[in-house]
Structure 1
Amino acid sequence: MSAIHIVRDYPHPPQKVWRAVTDPELVPLWTATGAGGRPEGFTTIPGTTFKFVAKPKPGWSGVVVCQVLEVREPSLLRYSWQDEGGGEVTEVAYSLEPHRSGTRFTFDHTGFTGAGGFCMAKILGTVRAKMLTRGLPAVLNDLDDQGALRPESPLSPKRL
């Protein structure tokens, strides 16, 4: 079985990181460094079914169907992940913990099986690493202490 495991430390408090990774208005700002997925219908309520919608590519509709499995604000978000066209159901987890004067963020995407799963984990792992190394820090740096995007921020919602 293949998996994606990425750990990043951010010099921001857990509540601010939590907001950036769970606010449907902020998520597309940091995922734009990857495929640019925006969550539709997302809430942090277990059982919620939602979609990540990105720009379609050859062989992919751009839509992933998810269901919130577990939430412990501001330390854990776990949800299922499945291509809209079917295929295996995998699982994504965001774990946040205080670390030094900021937050240690751990991203895990598990459940990839077979040769196809191995390839998918490699492709998605590269994209996720970019989003968590470039995209998320940019958003975190442009949030004020209340977690709102600063008016002078060069970031703007990406429309798909």
Structure 2
Amino acid sequence: MDSRHGTVFATGDGRTAIRFERLLPHPPEQVWEAITDPARLSAWFPAVVDLDRPVGTELFFAVTEEQQRRFGMVDDPERTPNGRLLRSERPTVLEYEWAGEVLTWEISPTPTGSRLVFTNVLSDPEAAGPAAAGWEAGLEVVEAQLDGTPVTWDPFTRAEELAAAYE
């Protein structure tokens, strides 16, 4: 599998996880902004959420406008929290729980920028392929944003293209 693709693996406790690693020519603070700024997240992240909260805060991951349009998904009208901020150590570690899954973003400085390691511990092992394709498509948008490259593709369509690599 291409190194751009995520690695699907079993965790020590028997769950399934996906891991991506990217070497980025940008400092950790810029990478942090790319994965936390709501305006940037709206271009690639599969939910609307405010991650600028104290650790331990319950979070509500809302359905995006694109998910509503494409798939007819609707939000919980009660906006019942469906996640929690577990760690937030700017600009090196961001970790949160979302609908039974744990997402961890680790950013470390390198001589030429940053190393980003993203791990998603899944609640449903059958979702590994589609989730990995979606995260890879999202990471492509993150990289384009960091590089100042216009995003001229749709991440949902790109995820569909990438899905075969994870079958």
Is TM-score (shorter-chain normalized) higher than 0.5? yes
Matched, 1:118 2:125: yes
Name 2:29's counterpart in structure 1.
Answer: 15
Aligned CA distance change for structure 1 residues 97 and 4 (closer, same or farther; 3 Å): same
1:80-116 alpha-carbon deviations (Å, 9 max, x no partner):
011xxxxxx110000000123111101101143xxxx
Instruction: Tell me which amino acid in the other structure corresponds to 1:28.
Output: S
1:101-144 alpha-carbon deviations (Å, 9 max, x no partner):
111101101143xxxx2221221011101211x201111122xx
Matched, 1:100 2:116: no
Q: What is the percentage of aligned positions where both structures have the same residue?
A: 25
Tell me if structure 2 keeps the 8 A contact 1:14–1:102: yes
Instruction: Tell me which amino acid in the other structure corresponds to 1:65.
Output: N
Aligned match for 1:42, one of 51, 58, 67: 51
Q: How many pairs were matched up?
A: 131
Aligned match for 2:98, one of 81, 89, 92: 81
Tell me if structure 2 keeps the 8 A contact 1:52–1:65: no
Name 1:136's counterpart in structure 2.
Answer: 142
Instruction: Tell me which amino acid in the other structure corresponds to 1:47.
Output: G
Query: 1: distance between equivalents of 2:133 and 2:26?
Result: 24
Q: Per-residue deviation at 1:47? A: 2.1
Matched, 1:67 2:84: yes
Whichever structure has more helix as a proportion of its residues is 2
Aligned match for 1:53, one of 51, 63, 74: 63
Whichever structure has more strand as a proportion of its residues is 1
Query: 1: distance between equivalents of 2:24 and 2:105?
Result: 14
Q: What is the RMSD of the two structures over their aligned residues, measured on CA atoms? A: 2.7
Query: 2: distance between equivalents of 1:9 and 1:30?
Result: 19
Query: 2: distance between equivalents of 1:78 and 1:118?
Result: 20
Aligned CA distance change for structure 1 residues 99 and 23 (closer, same or farther; 3 Å): same
Name 2:3's counterpart in structure 1.
Answer: none
Tell me if structure 2 keeps the 8 A contact 1:6–1:108: yes
RCO comparison, higher one (Cα < 8 Å, 6+): 1
Hey, which bits of structure 1, 4+ residues long, moved more than 3 A?
56-64
